[in-house]
A and B are shown apart, each in its own frame.
Chain A
């Protein structure tokens, strides 16, 4: 029985090196851990330790040899008593290289597989034709109440669900989303945290890994930047890294985007940040029904879900189904208004802006179809494509910055899936590409308004 010693890689990037020196001679005994040679790379001189025991029976690469490729056999080690001459010729000795490795797939095939995966991500096959379910009677409700009711309903149904964050309990929520929850569920399940986002987010992710279902409220998503490492590196990647053993059923929620005059550090739309990341789901409700239905689904989802709310919407009232079982599926957009001349795609507060613009356009004889995305990841590409095939034009509306934004992604999806149906290039409406200014006049100029959408539509209709 003999073993070949191969030229080791001593750094992740090393492809070859110089065999500087042998520290053992042919015929010498070698024990595991013995330093047998020195190797020079461009960066350092390193020692090579033996991993097996035996007698050094052959040196295949003399010391001083340059450019020895990684994995080249450099010596042979034989079990005690074996003759040196036998080693190489011994029948049945394993080949030095891993000849049994499966041949790599041809590149073409890999690309097809990858494309299919992307398509599956962004186009849930089943949603294309499924109509929006009718949940029956509705009643007016604010987005704030809808969010609270969603959490309360899920907490009643499942003891694993709890809420934590700054000021969520005694203060009843910095924006009063958790009003009344401490009274109903007590301090075990409605937990005030110190101002320690990175710590409490990591704590919640850990609890989720062990099967609890935390809802983490960020006072605003601006402060989630303190914790984003735990959201991306811990929550989003754990399922994958554990080979599917250990998931992270958790909801991260809070107001996202500009509020009013709170300036650059407190006014940012994080939609494209989170939507960028595999391993997360991202939703951005507009109406009270969106808020209630999506948050309930998010809490039940076995994955980390980011719920991007909006402070300005909290106080707005919408009709919301009264059905106890009401939910909204993640990954399904909603057509808020039908039309045949142009498709306007928006999410969160910008749906309202798009709806206002559609009214103005209607007065001018232009029928806009408004799609409320609701989910940003997975994206309901099927709904967008279906609409664009009808209208042949698309305008996207987002509060965030244009560069690598949601609008850019939607435009690309449209180009990939229905380029031939387009009669004009897609147009993006978005917040100005600047940190948000404080001054009232400047702030107004920096965020999308209905007339911006009207103008964008008129460019292409």
Chain B
């Protein structure tokens, strides 16, 4: 390992100029029209996909836990726009949006939700456990907080190989209480690992608000003891997320070590499909939906930039068609063969 460290191109101690206070996101938050169109389409795909998943769940075609990402689309889309080919992504069970953002096929994700052989895990993983080696998406993890250490390890692989890839490691405000998060922070800071820790602060972990779960309310400074720079980001504004992510990615790629983003967002739906949602008011949800919706915000920017109704309609129609195709596939793809019960337990041979 010492040898691997020597051959590394970056990571000199003197390079770090970590401040421990919240950093404002980069000033230029403008996106080109082309970028805005992409962000709009990507967020819309996630929104429509999740709405469809909710429907299929209601029809009994999806079982178990199913955590929808509706409301949070700007987080993953903004960050993905700052990443490039070869960078890794890992997240929790609320993972459908992340998969679509990394370019995984909606039909493969939806077929996994229905537990069919055409799903990304051949139907064996379900909503919470999906992976794509090709898209460098490392799951889909059901145990709150576990992916934070795993993401640190993905970043370590980059460090070990001496390449300039970074790993985006997503977790929730609730997960930020887990001890292994801070064990990971220490490791990443100590070894200067290129890990972007993204806290998706949607204000609640299940039915518990951040205020009731954490004595630290400003999560962006939770890396302070290890001098991990942190930024607080408006997660309902995809341009702000992208701009902040650009800073984070540049920091990590330069070899300066990990970076923490607290992205403030909101989930419109329940925690999972069976959530009585007594911990927040309808008004609170309604206010976010009408005043802060991330897709609407981009729509306004595009309208201001002169995009016409026809162009919106074309995007909407294309997204709708893709989602419908995914839903059809997820219902027509056969259930896995019984022999699949016994495969993939260990690598054979």
Q: Which residues of A contact B (CB under 8 A)?
A: 166-167, 170-171, 174, 192, 194-199, 222-223, 225-226, 259-266, 432-435, 437-442, 445-446
A266 touches B115 (CB 8 A): no
B177 surroundings in chain A (CB, below 8 A) = 194-196
Q: With contacts A196-B178, A437-B336, A442-B341 known, what are 15 further pairs, Cβ within 8 A?
A: A170-B208, A194-B177, A195-B144, A195-B213, A198-B178, A260-B63, A264-B124, A266-B65, A432-B341, A437-B341, A438-B125, A439-B336, A441-B338, A442-B115, A442-B335
A265 touches B129 (CB 8 A): yes
Asked whether A440 and B63 contact (CB < 8 A) given A195-B175, A198-B179, the answer is yes
A170 touches B336 (CB 8 A): no
Asked whether A437 and B206 contact (CB < 8 A) given A195-B144, A195-B174, A264-B129, the answer is no
- The answer to the question of B126 belonging to the interface, with a C-beta cut-off of 8 Å to chain A, is yes
From A195, A262, A434, give the contact of B64 (CB < 8 A). A262
Asked whether A439 and B143 contact (CB < 8 A) given A261-B63, A445-B338, the answer is no
Query: Per-residue CB proximity of B125-145 to A under 8 Å, as 1/0?
Result: 111110000000000011111
B129 surroundings in chain A (CB, below 8 A) = 263-265, 438
Give the CA-CA distance A445 to B145 in the complex, in Å.
Answer: 31
A167 surroundings in chain B (CB, below 8 A) = 206-208
Closest A residue to B205 using CB positions: A195
A263 touches B335 (CB 8 A): no
12 pairs, A vs B, C-beta closer than 8 Å: A167-B208, A171-B208, A195-B145, A222-B143, A225-B143, A226-B143, A261-B63, A262-B128, A435-B345, A438-B64, A440-B63, A445-B341
Nearest 4 CB-CB pairs, A to B? A438-B126, A261-B63, A261-B64, A194-B177
Give the CA-CA distance A263 to B206 in the complex, in Å.
Answer: 19
Interface residues on B, range: 35 or more
- The answer to the question of B123 belonging to the interface, with a C-beta cut-off of 8 Å to chain A, is yes
Q: How far is the CB of B332 from chain A (nearest CB, A)?
A: 15
- The answer to the question of B325 belonging to the interface, with a C-beta cut-off of 8 Å to chain A, is no
B208 surroundings in chain A (CB, below 8 A) = 166-167, 170-171, 192, 194
Give the CA-CA distance A438 to B66 in the complex, in Å.
Answer: 12
Give the CA-CA distance A170 to B279 in the complex, in Å.
Answer: 8
From A174, A434, A441, give the contact of B336 (CB < 8 A). A441
- The answer to the question of B340 belonging to the interface, with a C-beta cut-off of 8 Å to chain A, is yes
A439 surroundings in chain B (CB, below 8 A) = 115-116, 123-124, 126, 335-336, 340
Please classify the interface of chain B as helix (H, G, I), strand (E, B), loop, or mixed, using the class held by over half of its residues. Answer: loop
Asked whether A438 and B341 contact (CB < 8 A) given A166-B208, A195-B177, A263-B64, the answer is no
Give the CA-CA distance A261 to B113 in the complex, in Å.
Answer: 11
- The answer to the question of B212 belonging to the interface, with a C-beta cut-off of 8 Å to chain A, is yes
Asked whether A438 and B124 contact (CB < 8 A) given A261-B63, A445-B341, the answer is yes
B145 surroundings in chain A (CB, below 8 A) = 195, 226
A197 surroundings in chain B (CB, below 8 A) = 178
Q: Which residues of B contact A (CB under 8 A)?
A: 63-65, 112, 115-116, 121, 123-129, 141-145, 174-175, 177-179, 205-208, 212-214, 278-279, 335-336, 338, 340-342, 345
B213 surroundings in chain A (CB, below 8 A) = 194-195
A263 touches B336 (CB 8 A): no
From A174, A198, A223, A261, give the contact of B206 (CB < 8 A). A174
B174 touches A194 (CB 8 A): yes
Give the CA-CA distance A261 to B206 in the complex, in Å.
Answer: 20
Give the CA-CA distance A456 to B168 in the complex, in Å.
Answer: 50
Give the CA-CA distance A166 to B335 in the complex, in Å.
Answer: 35
Give the CA-CA distance A195 to B145 in the complex, in Å.
Answer: 9
Residue of B123, B174, B341 most packed against chain A (CB within 10 A): B341
Give the CA-CA distance A437 to B123 in the complex, in Å.
Answer: 8
A263 surroundings in chain B (CB, below 8 A) = 64, 124-126, 128-129, 142
Residue of A222, A433, A434, A442 most packed against chain B (CB within 10 A): A442
A442 touches B124 (CB 8 A): yes
From B143, B174, B336, B341, give the contact of A265 (CB < 8 A). B143
Closest A residue to B345 using CB positions: A434
Give the CA-CA distance A260 to B141 in the complex, in Å.
Answer: 18
Asked whether A264 and B340 contact (CB < 8 A) given A194-B208, A438-B64, A439-B115, the answer is no
Give the CA-CA distance A370 to B115 in the complex, in Å.
Answer: 35
Residue of B112, B124, B336 most packed against chain A (CB within 10 A): B124
A433 surroundings in chain B (CB, below 8 A) = 345
B335 surroundings in chain A (CB, below 8 A) = 439-442
Give the CA-CA distance A166 to B121 in the complex, in Å.
Answer: 30
From A166, A261, A265, A437, give the contact of B141 (CB < 8 A). A265
From A192, A434, A440, give the contact of B342 (CB < 8 A). A434
A438 surroundings in chain B (CB, below 8 A) = 63-64, 112, 115, 121, 123-127, 129
A434 touches B142 (CB 8 A): no
B175 surroundings in chain A (CB, below 8 A) = 195
Give the CA-CA distance A442 to B345 in the complex, in Å.
Answer: 14
Give the CA-CA distance A445 to B336 in the complex, in Å.
Answer: 12
Give the CA-CA distance A440 to B178 in the complex, in Å.
Answer: 32
B64 surroundings in chain A (CB, below 8 A) = 259-263, 266, 438
Give the CA-CA distance A61 to B215 in the complex, in Å.
Answer: 64
Give the CA-CA distance A195 to B171 in the complex, in Å.
Answer: 12
Residue of A194, A223, A265 most packed against chain B (CB within 10 A): A194
B214 touches A194 (CB 8 A): yes
From B63, B207, B341, give the contact of A446 (CB < 8 A). B341
Q: How far is the CB of A28 from chain B (nearest CB, A)?
A: 44
A442 touches B336 (CB 8 A): yes
Q: How far is the CB of B341 from chain A (nearest CB, A)?
A: 6
Give the CA-CA distance A432 to B124 in the complex, in Å.
Answer: 14
B115 touches A440 (CB 8 A): yes
Q: How far is the CB of A55 from chain B (nearest CB, A)?
A: 49
Give the CA-CA distance A177 to B177 in the complex, in Å.
Answer: 24
Give the CA-CA distance A64 to B262 in the complex, in Å.
Answer: 65
B345 surroundings in chain A (CB, below 8 A) = 433-435
A442 touches B279 (CB 8 A): no
Q: How far is the CB of A260 from chain B (nearest CB, A)?
A: 6
A265 surroundings in chain B (CB, below 8 A) = 128-129, 141-143
Closest B residue to A440 using CB positions: B115
B336 touches A266 (CB 8 A): no
